[in-house]
Amino acid sequence: MTRRDPATVDFEDVDDIIGIAGEMVEIDDKHLSVEELREVASELDIPEANVEPAIVELRRRRQLELARTAAAQKRRVMMIRVGAVVLGCIAAVLVFVNSQLNELHGDVRGRRAQVDNVVERRSVTLAQWEGQPDSDDKNAELSGASNRVAVELRKYDKAATAYNDARSGILGRVVGGLFGLPRQAPLSSQLNGWTTR
């Protein structure tokens, strides 16, 4: 590897160096020396003794302004972070409540299907024993079919009540409305065709 002479410049860099030098001239043109500032102040009848303190005061004010800007930026960043955490918590609560409501609503649908099943089986049992004379077997089977319906109706009503309680709370109303869940699951007494006879 050959060492370059520090007093030389690559031909490829000439345009960049000239551009930077031009920028530096423009920057220098925008500045006055303290001596030039004193001359301007003298022309405006401002005592020379006031120029130095004015420079110090201006620098102090600029530093204070920078500190305020930095503090405001920190507050904005903190508010954004706090807002993100709050939104994350709200989203987590919404997801959790939606999950709970969906689980409860799924339980209601499952219980309803089970009631439909035992009601259908009871209808089949009634049809099998229709016109048969009373007997212990007939009474036991009919009673058992009706008892199974009553048990499943109680389980359905318990599931419907749990769903309705969760859905009627503030979060339940908000989340249920957002995700299109039914406002209420009807109790067995509100549905046609389900009886315990």
Residue 146 maps to a domain: yes
Give residue-wise pLDDT tens across range 90-112: 999 999 999 999 999 999 999 99
Residues whose CB is less than 8 angstroms from the CB of residue 41 and which lie 6 or more positions away in sequence, other chains included: 47, 48, 50, 51
- pLDDT for res 174: 93
Residue 67 maps to a domain: yes
Residue 197 maps to a domain: no
Q: Does 17 share its domain with 70?
A: yes
Model confidence pTM above 0.95: no
Q: Does 69 share its domain with 126?
A: no
Q: Does 103 share its domain with 53?
A: no
% of the chain surpassing 70 pLDDT = 92
Q: Does 31 share its domain with 101?
A: no
- pLDDT for res 191: 77
Residue 113 maps to a domain: yes
- Residue 27 in this model has a pLDDT that exceeds 80: no
Q: Does 116 share its domain with 29?
A: no
Q: Does 123 share its domain with 183?
A: yes
- pLDDT for res 196: 44
Q: What is the DSSP string of 60-116?
A: HHHHHHHHHHHHHHHHHHHHHHHHHHHHHHHHHHHHHHHHHHHHHHHHHHHHHHHHH
Residue 38 maps to a domain: yes
- Residue 153 in this model has a pLDDT that exceeds 80: yes
Residue 43 maps to a domain: yes
The average pLDDT across 153-173 equals: 95
Q: Tell which wins on pLDDT, 57 or 27.
A: 57
Q: Does 103 share its domain with 63?
A: no
Buried/exposed 10-44: b ≥16 CB within 10 Å, e otherwise: eeeeeeeeeeeeeeeeeeeeeeeeeeebbeebeee
Count up the domains in the chain and report the number: 2
Give residue-wise pLDDT tens across range 61-84: 999 999 999 999 999 999 999 999
Task: Give me the domain span that covers residue 24.
Answer: 11-84
% of the chain surpassing 90 pLDDT = 62
Q: Does 100 share its domain with 183?
A: yes
The average pLDDT across 160-168 equals: 96
Q: Does 79 share its domain with 126?
A: no
Q: Does 75 share its domain with 103?
A: no
Q: Tell which wins on pLDDT, 40 or 81.
A: 81
Q: Does 26 share its domain with 104?
A: no
The mean pLDDT value of the chain amounts to 88
